[in-house]
Amino acid sequence: MFRSLVAIALGLAVVGAGAAGAQDIPLDKITVPDGFTIEVYASDVPNARSMALSPTGTLFVSTRRAGIVYAVLDRDQDQTADEVITIATGLNTPNGVAIRDGALFVAELNRILRYDDIEARLGNPPEPVVVYDALPSERMHGWKFIRFGPDGKLYVPVGAPCNICDRTGEDERFATITRMNPDGGEHEVFAHGIRNSVGFDWHPKTGELFFSDNGSDGLGDDIPADELNHVTAIGQHFGFPWYGGGRTRTPELAGETPPRGATAPVIEFQAHTASLGIHFYRGRMFPSAYRHDAFVAQHGSWNRSSKVGYRIMRVRFDEAGKAVGKEVFASGWLDGEDAWGRPVDIKELPDGSLLVSDDFVGAIYRISYSGG
């Protein structure tokens, strides 16, 4: 049913040490469904994390730990990148990137920056405009994923500054997803009770937000679950810290009553898989059964006695936009107990193929379909 595939991307620009060359990436270990192919789209993108794709095809890639933001270009449109440009350096945990009206938005630990008219100035990037500089700056779960919603607002999660705790009395934005206007105005909490979301997307038909959330650590190898959640109303509460993940109560708050009407996840993933980037498939390259299903990048466990994750999951949705099941779509970055790659984020190219970032290898993969 599955087959392993190898492809090597040539002619990529080298931008620095710490990332594998395309020829060194063991894609023969990756399994994908029949008819699909995984290739290297860009190598030498150290610590590649979140991605944003402009309408003209420039891929912007954040790095979090490296403090760098890149632009990845496929100038000849052959579906393999041929240049990687450094846009910014020395940033404070720049995990999130988003594009709107020709400007690149970058989320640092405690602020949002905007680089205007960025594609006209890739070789000489402008000084950034500070859009908002009052985000919580705690480092634990403090890196910010960002994305513009269908309402034109910029959505920014603020993780819990702990493993299990309730610090919303200090700042109501802890353990939430917030949103603001593109100019930084009207910053508000959109959803509560969210431990650490590092990926979300809106269902193409319903326009409703779905987000991943990482379960608590230290409760065991197999609990609590990682989550896929569905927001149906502003102000919903998703259970943390009374629930550590899924339907698992946290021992620290076992004697307390959870918030009334706390919303359970629509899909529970295996504990400690570190489910991050999520993308609803909108294209027509893949078979029709995949349309409007979601792909979720599982970064992989770090504190489990045996490793899990390091793969891409497919979440199946029905015609009404309801999540109805899950299955492994791509795996092989974990070879026994040896993890050689860690998927982070997923984006879709105009042709309907998918890009997947890997911050361990420092590369971007492309997954395409050519038939059974």
- 211-234 pLDDT per residue, tens: 999 999 999 999 999 999 999 999
97 φ/ψ sector (left φ>0, alpha ψ -120 to 50, else beta): beta
Give the pLDDT of residue 14.
32
Give the pLDDT of residue 5.
34
Say if residue 4's pLDDT is above 80: no
For the whole model, what pTM was predicted? 0.93
Say if residue 329's pLDDT is above 70: yes
> How is the chain split into domains, by residue range?
2-369
Say if residue 1's pLDDT is above 60: no
Give the pLDDT of residue 22.
72
Joined tokens for residue 364: 């971007």
State the burial class of residue 95 (Cβ atoms within 10 Å of its Cβ: 0-12, 13-18, 19+): buried
Give the pLDDT of residue 372.
60
Q: Which of 271, 265, 274 is nearest to 296 (CA)?
A: 274
Give the pLDDT of residue 23.
75
What gap in Å lies between CA 9 and CA 161, rounded to an integer? Answer: 40
CB count in 10 Å sphere of residue 279:
22
Sheet with 31-33: strands ordered across: 2-4, 31-33, 323-331, 311-317, 294-298, 275-280
Kindly indicate the confidence band of residue 365, based on its pLDDT and cuts at 50, 70 and 90: very high
* DSSP secondary structure letter of residue 318: -
Average pLDDT estimate for 303-332: 97
Mean pLDDT of the chain: 93
State the burial class of residue 325 (Cβ atoms within 10 Å of its Cβ: 0-12, 13-18, 19+): exposed
Say if residue 15's pLDDT is above 90: no
Which run of H or of E encompasses 31?
Answer: strand 31-33
Assigned CATH class of 2-369: mainly beta
What does the DSSP assignment read for 147-213? EE-TTSPEEEEE--SSSS---TTT-TTTTEEEEE-TTS-S-EEEEE--S----EEE-TTT--EEEEE
Give the pLDDT of residue 43.
94
Average pLDDT estimate for 68-82: 96
Q: What are phi and psi of 118, to 5 degrees?
A: -65, -35
